[in-house]
């Protein structure tokens, strides 16, 4: 079961490169003051955002559609590497953060059992940050995906990375 066999197609991966340093993108992602400004699709607002970004913590966000309909999501955190990586679970909830089965909302949602969301913050240098959000990641690969991503990106730059690490020490 721990073998990385397929399911790649079923995973949703969204990436974006931001013209800002990693610390800033992290802040925008985790500080409710900023999350309220971007949470939800185009035209939606986020009237409520409570963030508790730590392992075992739970965040709660409400989004309001253009026609005034509200929908709540809760997020639980499994692993946090500051400025680098978040492994979390997002689900539909009521305004208290209690889980609601998607079917109850009439939502067709094919969640993969035991799967998580992985968010990666990657420093590209020159003040740029690559943000990767992977949905429905099985836990075993969620644990490793940070490293995997790092390897894929830097395989030919290992020497530079090591030098950077040495400098940071």
Secondary structure of residue 126 in the 3-state scheme: coil
Beta carbons within 10 angstroms of residue 40's beta carbon: 17
Tell whether residue 112 is a contact of another protein (CB under 8 A). Answer: no
Tell whether residue 107 is a contact of another protein (CB under 8 A). Answer: yes
Distance CA 119, CA 53 (A): 13
The residue range among 1-9, 25-33, 80-88, 154-162 that interacts with another protein, by the rule CB under 8 A, is 25-33
CB of 109 to another protein, least distance (A): 8
Q: Which is nearer to another protein, 37 or 147 (CB)?
A: 37
CB within 8 Å of 19: residues ≥ 6 apart: 127, 128
CB of 72 to another protein, least distance (A): 11
Is 26 in contact with 86 (CB distance < 8 Å)? no
Distance CA 52, CA 34 (A): 14
CB of 164 to another protein, least distance (A): 23
Residues of this chain that bind another protein (CB under 8 A): 12, 14, 16, 18-20, 24-25, 27-29, 34, 37-42, 44, 63, 65, 67, 69, 71, 92, 102-103, 105-109, 131, 133, 135
């Amino acid at each position: 079961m721990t073998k990385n066999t397929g399911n790649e197609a079923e995973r949703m991966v969204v990436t974006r490169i931001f013209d800002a340093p990693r610390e800033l993108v992290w802040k925008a992602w985790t500080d409710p003051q900023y999350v309220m400004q971007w949470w939800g699709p185009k035209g939606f607002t986020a009237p409520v955002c409570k963030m508790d970004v730590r392992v075992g913590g739970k965040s709660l966000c409400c989004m309001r559609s253009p026609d005034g309909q509200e929908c709540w999501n809760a997020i639980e955190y499994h692993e946090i590497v500051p400025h680098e990586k978040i492994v979390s679970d997002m689900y539909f909830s009521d305004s208290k953060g209690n889980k609601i089965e998607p079917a109850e909302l009439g939502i067709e949602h094919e969640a993969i059992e035991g799967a998580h969301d992985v968010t990666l913050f990657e420093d590209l240098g020159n003040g740029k940050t690559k943000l990767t959000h992977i949905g429905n990641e099985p836990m075993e690969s969620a644990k490793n995906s940070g490293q995997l991503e790092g390897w894929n990106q830097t395989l030919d730059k290992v020497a530079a990375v090591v030098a950077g690490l040495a400098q940071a020490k």
